[in-house]
Amino acid sequence: MDVPATTEDVKESAESITVRVRDQTGEETFFKIKKTTKMQKVFETYATRKGVQVNSLRFLLDGDRITPDQTPKMLELEDQDQIDCVLEQTGGKGHGQIGAAAQ
């Protein structure tokens, strides 16, 4: 038996929040999105605004990577929450051994 959606359920699903995407320099970009919007839309818009490829960026919430198919509701994001954006770092000799050659 299906339970009809209450006004509160409908209100929550349509609710918009503002999230802050902060880059490594501290610059913040703001996005107003619905809690049901996939984060992929935010990622692609951010990359376009910055003039970079979306696959060169990583988006993190409290240090954990956010996947494109997640939504603010799934991530339990609230209004004005911050997402960190960092450049993807690939490869490199001696991974995890910063300064090892200087020893």
Whose CA is closest to 35, among 83, 76, 85? 76
What are the tens digits of pLDDT across the range 34-64?
Answer: 999 999 999 999 999 999 999 999 999 999 9
Q: Count of domains in the chain?
A: 1
In a domain, 26, yes or no: yes
Here the tokens at position 66 are 């956010």
Domain of 51 in residue numbering reads as 14-89
In a domain, 100, yes or no: no
The burial class, CB within 10 Å (0-12 / 13-18 / 19+), for 90 is exposed
Estimate to the nearest angstrom the gap between the alpha carbon of 87 and the chain centroid.
Answer: 13
| Confidence band of 96 (pLDDT split at 50, 70, 90) | very low
- Residue 6's pLDDT is 53
- Residue 57's pLDDT is 97
In a domain, 78, yes or no: yes
pTM metric for this prediction: 0.74
In a domain, 66, yes or no: yes
- Where do we find the tokens 């049901």? 36
In a domain, 95, yes or no: no
| Confidence band of 89 (pLDDT split at 50, 70, 90) | confident
In a domain, 48, yes or no: yes
Query: Looking at per-residue confidence, does 7 or 39 come out higher?
Result: 39
In a domain, 25, yes or no: yes
| Confidence band of 88 (pLDDT split at 50, 70, 90) | confident
In a domain, 99, yes or no: no
CATH number at residue 28: 3.10.20.90
